[in-house]
Structure 1
Amino acid sequence: MATAAVPDNAAPGEFQAVGGRLERGLIWVFIVVPTLALVPGMFFAWGGWIGWHDIVLLVVFYVITTTGIGAGYHRCLTHGAFKTKRGLKIALAIAGSLALEGPAIRWVADHRKHHKFSDREGDPHSPWRYGTSAWAVTKGFIFAHAGWVLWGSDRADPKHYAPDLLRDRDLAAISRQFRSLAAVSLLAPAIIGGLWDRSWHGAATGFFWGTLVRVALMHHVTFSINSICHVTGKKPFDARDRSGNVWWLAILSQGESWHNLHHADPTCARHGVLKGQIDVNAWIIRRFEQLGWAYDVRWPDQDRLERKRAAAP
């Protein structure tokens, strides 16, 4: 989900497909630095270097960005599982950008390519790309989890995979402003924490928990959908790939880890369709629908589900 360079003077429909060295470098920073913060994070938490302000910042920014990726980038923009009023579309695209996984158009293009070639040649991040032996799957798992973002080259061309988003003036503008939104995502928790606590200490802990730990946790949960959910998990529905449901990721991913149903029925707005499957993003979409902000929501069709379930191996 690397960034892509877009000239500031680009027309609304223009989007440069290949990111430059700066963009690739930023992705390395966005992934590696927060990940390194997780280990000291556990130490500092145990030592008392965390207050309730920090917990609020971590949870609020995590939910905003996870919703932006799952309900926004993924279910709405990539698959068209529901339509939105203009304000909600902009809000979801901005929230997704704050997750630091790349601009909306780049993310959508890569994910649509993933679905077209899922677990086959051409898939940007299949863990099965090197084969099925233990060593091959190990290498593939690492590549599918984060390697494809850091050094992968099999990326999608937005002109081919996301022409509809390129024509959307709002989404093109938000994609062009990804670096500015990334700065907001990085600095906002520190600024809020400092003002809330009225101290530099509050700013420091706000940045540590609300930015570094939040970004690391959110990234690796998202990456786990690409890696873990394509290696293991239950497969109650018929899908043409190896996607599986991983229950213990359901809460943190807000329902994205019910991955087998998603690949069996990609445009469905709810991924957790079986009894006991918690799907927070579907609950949020339902609230949007009730408020009149979302419409034409593609909720599960029972007959279709039964056919998919009957055809499962």
Structure 2
Amino acid sequence: MTDAVIERPEPRRKTISSPYIHKLQRRHFLLFDIAPIAGTAAAAAFLWVHPFGWTEGALLFGGWLLTGLGVTVGYHRLFTHRTFKTTPAVQAVLAVLGSMAGQGPVISWVALHRRHHEYSDREGDPHSPNLSESVLAGLVHSHFLWMRRHEYPNVVHYAPDLIRNKAVVKVARGYYWWVLLGLAVPTVIGGLVDLSWQGAVSGLLWGGLVRIFVLEHIVWAINSFLHLYGTKPYESRENSRNGGIFALVSLGESWHNNHHAFPESPSFGLDWYRLDPGFWLITALHRIGWAWDLKVPSDERRESRRIRSTS
């Protein structure tokens, strides 16, 4: 009698790489990373036709704020790190607003960011500035060029919880439509306010493409500059840094060392005097009963990870 051969299943692959996936990555890079640069240049040129006014300013600011909160509160703090719980309706709204930012479908974004935390500043990190031969090459790669082509994190491995969430899956599948909606809304508002095609074009440019451009580079700067420069009050195994001067414009994301030290925390600033608009929204939702199970670290846990001066 011969021994039975037991076939062991192959371990689940953490990343997927294929010509088709790289083709999709190049297309997304051109549509949502390069096109906003061209749109920003076009907006500057269009000032000769239609001056920048209150409508353009409101569309740019309002679009940046809403989609920025969709990224930091929705994509990042809720879906990636599960720092709080909320209602299905709030989940859907945050997922849609985050999608309008043009930074990728929610499930893909979450999988990429979870992989970043797993391998932060080590081989396998999709966008570390610390793995290149020079500082400049590292900054350019981590800020922008890494998106042209990279190993795609297996969402079955990195985001199984979101795959089971039918509402989130539905939003992710409609990603391109949400981006288009984010461009259409300021176009319509600009046209209606100005009652002209010039107003519609100006709304599209400033409330759409420039808004995407501005928010993208704010988020990308967290990946690049704040893994090289800034303060580091807490122990963390990677080179994450705080950039408090950018706290408001980044909606709290620039407290990056705080976040890497306590990724389960919905508060990135941690202290009330450290500006964190993303946490302000979560706090407001908590007060009206739409957010709960906020996992803010205790004073004891924070002190245990604080870097002590050796001088």
2:266 is equivalent to residue 264 of structure 1? no
Which residue of 2 is the match for residue 25 of structure 1? 27
Structure 2: distance between partners of 1:236 and 1:39: 39
Q: CA RMSD in A?
A: 2.1
CA distance in 2, matches of 1:67, 1:124: 23
- Equivalent residues in 2 for 1:1-313 (5 A)? 19=21, 21-22=23-24, 24-39=26-41, 41=43, 49-131=51-133, 136-151=134-149, 153-274=150-271, 276-310=273-307
- Say whether the 8 Å CA contact 2:49–2:198 is kept in structure 1: no
Residues 87-132 of structure 1, C-alpha deviations (whole Å, 9 max, x = no match): 001111111100000000000000000000000011111001224x
Q: Is the 8 A contact 1:236 1:312 kept in 2?
A: no
SS at match of 2:144: helix
Count of aligned pairs? 293
Paired residue type of 2:35: V
Deviation at 1:45, TM superposition (A): 6.2
Cα distance between partner residues in 2 of 1:242 and 1:260: 8
Could you tell me which amino acid in structure 2 is paired with residue 34 of structure 1? P
TM-score by length of 1: 0.88
Query: Could you tell me which residue of structure 2 aligns to residue 8 of structure 1?
Result: none
Structure 2 gap ranges (5+)? 1-15
Deviations 1:29-67 (A, max 9, x none): 211121234456457669971111111111111111100
Counterpart Cα distance in 1 of 2:303 and 2:46? 49
Name the CA shift for 1:274/1:286 in 2 (closer, same or farther; >3 Å). closer
Query: Quick one: structure 1 residues 23 and 177, their matched pair in 2 at CA, closer, same or farther if it must change by over 3 Å?
Result: farther
Specify whether residues 300 and 312 from structure 1 end up closer, same or farther in structure 2 by C-alpha distance, changes over 3 A only.
Answer: farther
8 Å contact from structure 1 (residues 130, 137) kept in 2: yes
Question: How big is the shift at 1:310?
Answer: 4.2
Distance 1:73 1:311, change over 3 A: farther
Structure 1: unaligned runs, 5 residues or longer: 1-15
SS of 1:269's partner is coil
Separation of aligned partners in 1, 2:97 and 2:127:
24
Counterpart CA distance in 1 for 2:259 and 2:100 is 24
Q: TM-score, normalized by length of structure 2?
A: 0.88
Distance 2:25 2:184 in 1: 19
> What percent identity do the matched residue pairs reach?
38
Does the Cα contact within 8 Å between 1:85 and 1:294 map onto a contact in 2? yes
Q: Is the 8 A contact 2:50 2:199 kept in 1?
A: no
Following TM superposition, by how much is the alpha carbon of 1:275 offset from its aligned partner in structure 2, in angstroms? 6.2
